[in-house]
Structure 1
Amino acid sequence: MVNTEQFTKRLHKIMEYYDLSAASFADKIDVGRSSISHLLSGRNKPSLDFVMKIINAFPEVELYWLLNGKGNFPAKENIGSSANSEKAPSAPSNNLFTESLKENSQSPMPPEERKTQGKKEIKKIVFFYTDGSFEAFDH
C-alpha cells in the first residue's frame, strides 16, 4: 500500500528536480492538471496509469523509489539519458544572452539613436511563484 503523503513528497521532489510547476508536470506526463492538484492535496490516490506515466516520462525516477521511497533519485544508472541532459547539460554552451552581449560590445549604438529612444516606464511587474500562484503590481 502506498503512503499517499510520502508519495506526494516524492512528487514534489521530482517537480523541483526538473524545475516544473504542477501544471507543466501534468502536461509533461499527459494527465489532467486537476489530477495533479488532487494528488498533491491528498484528495486522490495515484493510479497505476499515473505512476507508469511518470516512470515513462522521467527515466531517472525508479519505480520502487516512487512507490516506497527506497532507492535513489535520480537513478544513478540513467545518468547519460536524454531527460537528464535536459536538466544539466554536460558541457557549457553559449546561450542567446551571451551572444547578444558579444554583438552589443562590438557595435555600440550611435549617439543619435540613443537620444531618440526616450525614457521607458515600468507599467506592470508580475511575480510567479513555484506553487503556481502569482502577484501583479501595476504602476
Structure 2
Amino acid sequence: MADFINLAEISKRIRELQDMSGMTAKDFSAKTEIPASTLSQINNGKILPSVDNINKIIDKWSDLMSPTYLLFGIRDEGLSNRASLASSEGAQSSDLFSSHGQDDRLREVLIGQAEEIGRLKEQIEASRPKEISHITVFYTDSSFATFSLESSKP
C-alpha cells in the first residue's frame, strides 16, 4: 500500500481541499465529522490520515475535489468534461442512464436497492399482526360450534 498510495501526499491534498473550501479548520472538521484535533495533526504532518478519515472526506467533499485527485494526485478531467458536456447538451439528452460506465454501475446499484425494497415490503407485510375473526370447535359427536369475537371497533 505504501508504494501505491502516498499518505503524506494525501495529507497535503486534504489541506489543499480545506483551503479550497474557504472554511476554517473547525468548520471543515465539523462538516467532515473528523475531530478538529485529528484534522490539525493531519495538516501538521504529525499523523497520517486513516482510511476512515479519507472516506469521510470523500463522502463530504467529492463535489469540490475528485476522489481520484485526493487519493492519487491525478486530476480527473473526465468529471469536469462530463459536467461541461452535460451543461452544453442540456435538453438534447433525456436518457437518465447514458452509456457511461459509472452510470451503468449506478443503474445496477439502483436496481439492487429497488429489489431490496420490494423484499423488505414483503417481509413487513408478512409480519403484520393477524386478528382472530372466529374459532370453530369440533366435538367428538360430529357437531361443532363457532365462536365469533365481538369487535369493539366502530
| TM-score, normalised by the number of residues in structure 2 | 0.44
The structure whose residues are more often helix, as a share, is 2
* Bigger radius of gyration among the two: 2
Higher relative contact order (Cα pairs below 8 Å, separated by 6+ residues)? 1
TM-score of the aligned structures, taking structure 1 as reference length: 0.49
